[in-house]
A and B are shown apart, each in its own frame.
Chain A
Amino acid sequence: MAVKNKNVFDFSPALESAGHIQLKDQYELFINGKWTKPKSGKYFKTINPSNEKVIAQVAEASKTDVDAAVSAAEKAFNGWSSLSGKERGKYLFRLARLIQEKARELSVIETLDGGKPIRESRDIDIPLAAAHFFYHAGWADKLEYAFPNRKTEPLGVAGQIIPWNFPLLMAAWKLAPALACGNTVVLKPAETTPLTALKLAEIIEEAEFPPGVVNIVTGAGATGAAIVNHPKVNKIAFTGSTEVGKIIQRATANTDKKLTLELGGKAANIIFEDAAINQAVEGIINGIYFNQGHVCCAGSRLFVQESVHDEVIQKLKARIENLVVGDPMDKNTDIGAINSKSQLETINKYLKIGKEEGLEMFQSSCSVPSKGFWCKPTIFTGAAQSSRIVQDEIFGPVLAVQTFRTIGEVIQKANNTPYGLSAGVWTDKGSKIFNLTQQLRAGVIWANTFNKFDPTSPFGGYKESGFGREGGVHGLESYLKFND
């Protein structure tokens, strides 16, 4: 009497409700603690990439507005930097707690504005953002213990430009250390995902920060350039593409601006035949398809030892069939919408190049919604270091698979890239892990796991993936000068 219940245990819609969020139709610039209209009167639209609907109008900051923001930050600096560390810490703790209280609202807005699955914004982005504020709040009055026998001073006004892949989390990475160390800030969120940073501005108001300590100006490249080139800005922190990073480095050369850059990556994820293959497959999936592959440290170059290649590929293909692709607001969605039309065009360009170069492409058989920007999880096999899709950062759910035979060969190939942000090693052998972590030129190396983040752990790159570290004690250094 075998009861055949074939295919009835299928997912029912499990939509997160958006009824509780409070969003305005129009957002102004947050300058000197006030919501200020842009001088130009110009606004741009921010849309939901999963259905292309306009969510809100956002002010576009011109050079004049950036001037006002920098002046406000400059004026606030004396007061903020002369507060005791304990007092600054209180503000940051308050901010962290308010983020936790509003976690649900922030998660939903992050997902609506950026297209990432609600599961990720709920379980990763927002809790980690709060964790960064908590962690740095703790450092605010302990800087002399972080740097014993050295006299530290804040830098002044920090100009911070952040990307669209983890909007609130990147704001937290930037703001928390800067404020803990006593700097004041002009922050520019990405033009496709400004909303959670603007909600953060509201929270900063609610936490009663002194006016001008945090200024948030929205806009595109020109706004960013105005911050970078502003003579009163003492420090630039940028996370984004290597291309823009290079422009910023050129612009800040010959000035006394301190600079940290966190740029692109093309991480090698290396799986040896002695690895726990089933868990490695999960790790590869998490490494490349987390946040639709919009992750600078994504494990986009997979190196599989030849003896387990067929098994790994077979299991990867089966696994991506299991990934739920679709409405980012559904709690079961694994892969949401691509962040913007232009990013989708970039990804599609690389899919075309991969096929033209004769690589074998495999995509999940899932269907995607007709509206919005979507890319099915994709695997290219038979790739080589010479393949374009292996050389360039695609920033999408696209995995390029190469094989290798020996450990020496894979180390050479893994390092054979202008990038050096992260890498992954999968083996059951501890000695092999230590050998590789010594030899791989990457800022973060994960062993038998991938994409794990924690505020205590410094994050940053080698080579063209940038310089400077964020998180941990190392991250504080970027926001301090040492007078000794």
Chain B
Amino acid sequence: MQLVNRNSPPVDQVGIEDRIARVTARSIKSDMKLAGLQMAISMIDLTTLEGADTNGKVTQLCTKAQYLCNEYPELPSVAAICVYPSMVGVAKKALGKSGIKVASVATAFPSGQSSLEVKLLDTKMALDNGADEIDMVISRGKFLQGEYDFVADEISTIKEACGKARLKVILETGELGSLDQVRKASDIAIYSGADFIKTSTGKIPKAATLPVTCVMLEAIRDYYLETGKMIAMKPAGGISKSKLALHYLMLVKEVLGDQWLSNEWFRFGASSLANDLLMQYAKAQTGAYQSSDYFSID
């Protein structure tokens, strides 16, 4: 298969860190800040991925997704709810015709340590329950063993099973070891049919970072320059503050350009980010920080 022989370009970690230092030194103020906060809200995949998830918990999260903040009706709703396959039906029902997507993790999330048959069944279950988007994990063990064909085949098989549903491929970059590996995994995912590439499961301590995201965005850009096709990006885990979210948007703007700045092409996988965005938005409107008690915690 061509993609396996394809050499991913090297990544210079020091250069990436320099770039991130430049991006985070940008001053995001007034109108730009307001626009960024709104944009970030619209890009959230509001997530609950717990063994302890219940129908009630998921339903409450769906309510929050639809009625984020009554005080500021101009705010957009979040992009999607992200749950386990068993909760897709509950979420789908709770969200009704709101237009908010339901994303489901699948393929033996979060470890991916299972057979392809099980992963396909897992994916099918999510799709049968009505998932609009599938967040799959790659087999990191196989990737680290150098079995790139295996990883690629798995992704393309799941992609085929997804049909119309958009496929997010989670690289779990915290387990890959280097930025060079992140780039290689990104290229494999993109060339195997990923609609999104996603950093992390959120289930290990090393989740999304700006340098890792920068490398993945570069992979997306290089693919776009080569083929003219846009791939979407989703950093997940560890993004809980507005300032950091705005840095991410700045990075997307500078590496990929404005055309990627919509929730079709960029998402945040996060649970507590929404409330911080709301709090900052309220601060920008009223000039004062509100108590966190004014923001519901579903």
Contact = CB atoms under 8 A, between A and B. Distances in A.
B115 interface: no
A346 interface: no
A311 B9 CA distance: 12
B52 interface: no
Given A1-B99, A5-B42, A282-B19, A11 B32 contact: yes
Interface of A is mostly: loop
Contact of A6 (B32, B99, B100, B258): B258
A448 B12 CA distance: 8
Given A3-B263, A4-B262, A314-B225, A12 B12 contact: no
A356 B186 CA distance: 45
B262 A3 contact: yes
The residue in A278, A286, A331 that gathers the most chain B C-beta atoms within 10 A of its C-beta is A278
The residue in A10, A276, A286, A311 that gathers the most chain B C-beta atoms within 10 A of its C-beta is A276
Contacts of B99: 1
Interface string B196-239: 00000000000000000000001000100100000000000000
Interface of B is mostly: helix
A332 B259 CA distance: 21
Given A9-B258, A276-B9, A322-B254, A282 B264 contact: no
Given A14-B29, A279-B19, A282-B19, A9 B12 contact: no
Contact of A2 (B27, B31, B263): B263
Contacts of A449: 14-15, 18
Nearest to B250: A9
A433 interface: no
A428 B10 contact: yes
Interface string B68-111: 00000000110000000000000000000001100000000000
Contacts of A314: 225
A9 B36 contact: yes
Nearest to A281: B15
A6 B100 CA distance: 20
Interface residues of B, number: 39
Interface string B2-36: 00000001111011101100000111111111011
A279 B32 contact: no
A136 interface: no
B241 to A, nearest CB: 18
Contact of B25 (A7, A10, A119, A315): A119
B10 A5 contact: no
Contacts of A275: 10
Nearest to B18: A282
A8 interface: yes
Nearest to A119: B25
Interface residues of A, number: 35
Nearest to B39: A5
A3 B76 contact: yes
B49 interface: no
B38 interface: yes
B112 to A, nearest CB: 29
A5 B11 contact: no
Nearest to A323: B254
Interface in B145-201: none
The residue in B19, B27, B77, B218 that gathers the most chain A C-beta atoms within 10 A of its C-beta is B27
B225 A331 contact: no
B217 to A, nearest CB: 10
Contacts of B263: 2-3
B196 to A, nearest CB: 14
A123 B18 CA distance: 13
B46 to A, nearest CB: 14
A3 B39 CA distance: 8
A473 interface: no
A6 B261 contact: yes
Contacts of A123: 25
Interface in A213-253: none
A12 B33 contact: yes
A279 B35 contact: no
Interface of B: 9-12, 14-16, 18-19, 25-33, 35-36, 38-39, 42, 76-77, 99-100, 218, 222, 225, 249, 253-254, 258-259, 261-264
9 contacts: A2-B264, A119-B25, A123-B25, A275-B10, A276-B12, A279-B11, A282-B18, A449-B15, A449-B18
Which 5 A-B pairs give the minimum distances between C-beta atoms? A279-B15, A1-B99, A14-B27, A276-B12, A331-B27
Given A9-B35, A12-B33, A119-B25, 6 more contacts: A1-B99, A8-B39, A9-B39, A9-B261, A448-B15, A449-B14
